[in-house]
Amino acid sequence: MILHAFLLSLPLAAPPQESTRTLDRPGEHHKHLTIDTVDRWLLDGVEGEVLRVDVRSSAFDPVLQLVRLDDAGRIQQVLIPEVDDPGSTSHMLMRLSAAGPLAILVHGPGERGGGNYRLYVERLRSLPLPDGEEFLVGRLDEKGYAHVRFMARAGDAIVPRGPGVVEVLDPKGYSLPNWRGCFTAQRDGEHYMRVRDKARAPFRVGLSPVPRREITIGQGVDATVSSEGLDEWTLRTVQGGMQIVEIEGAGLETRFLLHGERPTIGLDDGPTHRWGPTHRWLPTHSKGATRRTAYVARVAVGQRIQVRSSSERPTPYRITFRDPSAPLPIGAATEAALPVGGSAYWTFDAEPGEVLSVDVTSSAFDPSVRLYDSLGTLIAEADDAGGTLASRHSWLVRNRGRIYLEVLSYGNGGGGAYTAELTRIDVPRIAVGDRARATLAEGSVAYWHVDVGEQERVLVLADAEGVLPQLTLYDADGVERASASGSERDGGVLLNLRRPGAGRYTLVLSSGGGGGEVTLRTIDPDE
């Protein structure tokens, strides 16, 4: 009883105060929201009218609601529950099914917060796009607008036909991004084409059908896109596999749409090298009427590619979807030809601790090489920048798995016959307590495999003559365990590894400046 009496004595949370204002006209309105207050904007709704509302503020996180009122001004029905979009803006849209008094409510989260805000309201009339009809014909209103509604599902390609379409609105009232006059639905529901021209001018608009077809890896298909039309292809990627898409045809524009991502990559956008949520896009070059994009997929997902034509006539083209790589054997020179302005891809498997070298030579062009791991991450890039017609790169393999080699022309303008050779470099072995010598040129590297037992500590000492030595030690899994750099030439550097664990390690000695002789000693300080 005492507790009950105490609870009854506590002050009850007061409902938020309301500030009421009549929405006497559409357009932009500015107001200050008092802290812990709900602003109520009153208007009389018209059956069939489309109400589009946007609120934004730099002072608080704005929330929108739309409610129907009874004759006494009380809330009779919630038409749109609280809308709290990310950031400093919120947006809502509804086509009214009945006339009557309405209120737009503006407040902060939890009906708290306040500050200045801007409310923008559009009251639109719309016309349905008739089922089975190719076009809707009509006249614009006194302001030179018409809004044509139609249904679309998330992911659908929307291609308006006819002049004057300036915008497509989604079911929340957001304007969809425009790519070459093509839109992609982000939500299921009723969409609106906004048509604009002179007041009372006649209009004629519709939607182009978008053929959807499938293409599998290793396939090439000849097709024709309709005049000012759009074709869409569905592709299935392979996890970890390299794929390339090529479109051959004049006057076409293309882009990818990936599952779970917004439209991201246009084949006309130029070289790229970055992660998307599902793909690693590789630098690839298009030339003439051929557009190409290469990538490695992080996961196996569905994706789409759109082919858009701005021509008034049907346009033929060819689409090819393939794995562009071929196996590159170790220890044998391989003859091949590079398309002018293109890339060639090779693949091989590697193990941690291997030291590999790639040599590409040509008498027809100045070659460059890029190396990628199985997920498309760039490992290394090498070219001679206009020097000899050869390119070489040697490296220590740190991760087990598939390696991709890209061969291209320096400057991306050449092509022709070339020779590619992959070599496994024999790495000398030394035991703890041994010594070795190496001659280093500036920028060169020497490697040793070091067999380590159960020592508590291993020291590696490099005495240099004319070289600024740098030492790095990797374990059998390619993980860096220790590193040290010299401070001057004709000096030394000491690397100290504690509790290394038994096994084979790889010691990398490089020159950070200068060239000359280096004497290397591995020491067990406990002996």
Length of the chain in residues, anyone? 527
User: Of 375, 417, 420, whose CA–CA distance to 393 is shortest?
Assistant: 420
269-282 tens-digit pLDDT: 333 334 455 677 77
CA dist 375 and 378 (Å) reads: 9
Beta-bridge partners for 151: 190
User: Of 470, 476, 484, 426, whose CA–CA distance to 451 is shortest?
Assistant: 476
Question: In this predicted structure, what is the pLDDT of residue 388?
Answer: 63
* Contact indicator for 333, 360 with CB cutoff of 8 Å: no
Question: In this predicted structure, what is the pLDDT of residue 523?
Answer: 87
Question: In this predicted structure, what is the pLDDT of residue 276?
Answer: 55
Q: Angle CA(346)–CA(347)–CA(352) in degrees, nearest 5?
A: 140
Dihedral in degrees, nearest 10, Cα atoms 270, 273, 275, 279: 70
CA dist 527 and 513 (Å) reads: 34
Task: With a cut of 50, list the residues of the chain below it in pLDDT.
Answer: 1, 3-4, 6-8, 10-13, 260-275, 385-386
- State the DSSP string of 489-518: TT-EEEEEEES--SEEEEEEEEEEEEEEEE
CA dist 62 and 88 (Å) reads: 7
213-248 tens-digit pLDDT: 999 889 999 999 999 899 999 987 777 778 889 999
Question: In this predicted structure, what is the pLDDT of residue 274?
Answer: 43
Question: In this predicted structure, what is the pLDDT of residue 206?
Answer: 95
What sections of 318-381 are H helices per DSSP?
A: none
Burial class of 45 by CB neighbour count within 10 A (0 to 12, 13 to 18, 19+): buried
